[in-house]
Amino acid sequence: MSQRVLTTESGAPVADNQNSATAGAGGPILIQDQHLLEKLARFNRERIPERVVHARGSGAYGYFEVTDDVTGFTSADFLSEVGRRTETFIRFSTVADSLGGADAVRDPRGFALKFYTNEGNYDLVGNNTPVFFIKDPIKFPDFIHSQKRDPFTGRQEPDNVWDFWAHAPEATHQVTWLMGDRGIPASYRHMNGYGSHTYQWTNAAGDAFFVKYHFKTNQGVRSLSAEQAAEQVGKDANSHQTDLLQAIERGVNPSWTLHVQVMPAADAADYRFNPFDVTKVWPHADYPLQRVGRLVLDRNPDNVFGEVEQAAFSPNNFVPGIGPSPDKMLQGRLFAYADAQRYRLGINHTQLPVNAPKATTADNYGRDGLHATRYGSRQDKNYEPNSYAGPAQTGAPLAAPLPVQGWTGAHEAPLHTKDDDFFQAGELYRLMSADEKDRLIANIAGGLSQVTRDDVIEKNLAHFHAADADYGKRVEEAVRALRED
């Protein structure tokens, strides 16, 4: 049987479905990559009207207060002074299930935070894990399809879930996180949040730094076992929503302490791990946590649909002093998130109260479209430049420029000295206590043993063996025992 040829929507053959086109190896993604944009744009339009991912969510308002001086690293105004407070809105969510799904399930949690700064809204869109399953956005639609309901059976299929992971060895690190104790948080209040991606900070002198965000819960990390989660879902499928709502209503305001890891831009090229690979962490021994401030949630939304469901986040919403890095997954999300909201909520979704700036005013030449509420006065023009005192560019970039070199094309990410798909997964396994390892093995084996194809099971077992000999041995034995029952 001859191999079928993968094509674009227009029927053109696809040369590379594994790597996005970049400006040189390790460079930023090119907008000319039609296949990537087509995949992401189609993926964003697959569901009406709920989110394709992160559909089930809860939200709250609060504030962020700066507690430590970070002006040596960033010129962002909302971080410029100790004691400065900025209004925020956060949306927590599960990833894979639909709007009607349960809260207490094994799934990453979205941690999307909007800062209403006086230089515009800054959106930090992260998760409760410091890493992710894949490193290139061209694979994101495929990954989510493997985790969602099968088009024939209408349910999540272990064959699909584990078959994708069998072909994505870089997922081993995140799979270890997901199947470990923190895979099911006890509540949104009792989990950490991470920017996950690498971002760029630029100080007033123009010096560039790469940073990773860590929001550490001040309530302490608490998680549920698989058995506890099943019991919780049976009692209250909305358990995390209930907990967050009632805590804030009682005046028990949850909080997180923000820390960052800071890497001078010059360190990135020779760092032992690719610092822009979202499947990797930066060990704290290399780049210690530095405290920035605290996030406090103190007000529930008045209307869940109006404020939580219609909340729109895009990691492309930066403010001066903060910008992107060459992280390929981040680069893809810079397009995909905003595009998803334009489809889901319309081109004027930024004018909805929850999404509109609060500490400043949006002033641009965008006009008309569905649900437009901002028209301007009769003197306002809708083009630029003009002779009527309309808004004009500043000429000041938000962040420092990134150097690029090499040929355009679909490149694999450049390897650094310690780059492989398994080393950090093994490090995470070896950090676990004996009881934590027992639960991890049981969780993995419980899912992997349901796979019907032996070759898929073997490919996944090889990943765990490569991460750590004991890890692989124990998973293999546990899967074999469950399959023999």
Active site residues: 54, 127
Residue type, 248: I
* CA neighbor of 330 nearest in space, from 97, 20, 76: 20
Contact 108, 145 (CB under 8 A): no
Structure tokens at 349: 């979704």
Contact, 74 vs 44, CB < 8 A?
no
Q: How is residue 237 written in tokens?
A: 């499928």
Residues contacting residue 381 through CB under 8 Å, at least 6 positions apart = 365, 388, 390
**Rounded-to-integer distance, Cα 229 and Cα 227, Å:** 5
Which residues, 6 or more positions from 230, have their beta carbon under 8 angstroms from its beta carbon?
none
HEC assignment per residue over 181-234: HHHCECCCCCCCEECCCCEEEECCCCCEEEEEEEEEECCCCCECCHHHHHHHHH
Rounded CA-CA distance 129/195 in Å is: 9
Phi then psi for residue 262, to 5 deg, are -120, 125
Burial of 317 (0-12, 13-18, 19+ CB in 10 A): buried
End-to-end distance of the chain based on CA atoms, in angstroms?
37
Rg (CA), the chain: 23
